[in-house]
């Protein structure tokens, strides 16, 4: 995973947070999915580190 991968995933997570539905239950589910995505991203970085861009 390189810096561009991380930035792309980060932007996707931020966009998901910005596009919250009005329904509170759907918003909660969306928030949970974003949090899970962020945890997966952090776990991947911790396990594999970041590779140099070429």
49 CB-near residues (< 8 Å, 6+ apart)? 1
Output b/e per residue, 31-40; b: 16+ Cβ within 10 A: eeebeeeeee
Q: Which pLDDT tens digits describe the chain residue by residue (54 residues)? A: 888 999 999 999 999 989 889 999 999 999 999 999 999 999 999 998 888 776
pLDDT of 2 reads 87
Which residue matches tokens 């966009």? 15
- To the nearest 10°, report the CA torsion of 33, 34, 36, 38: 160
Residue 10 tokens read as 């980060």
pLDDT of 28 reads 95
């Amino acid at each position: 995973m390189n810096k561009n991968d991380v930035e792309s995933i980060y932007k996707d997570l931020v966009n998901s947070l910005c596009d919250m539905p009005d329904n509170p239950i759907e918003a909660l589910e969306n928030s949970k999915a974003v949090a899970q995505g962020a945890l997966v991203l952090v776990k991947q970085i911790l396990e594999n580190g970041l590779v140099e861009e070429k």
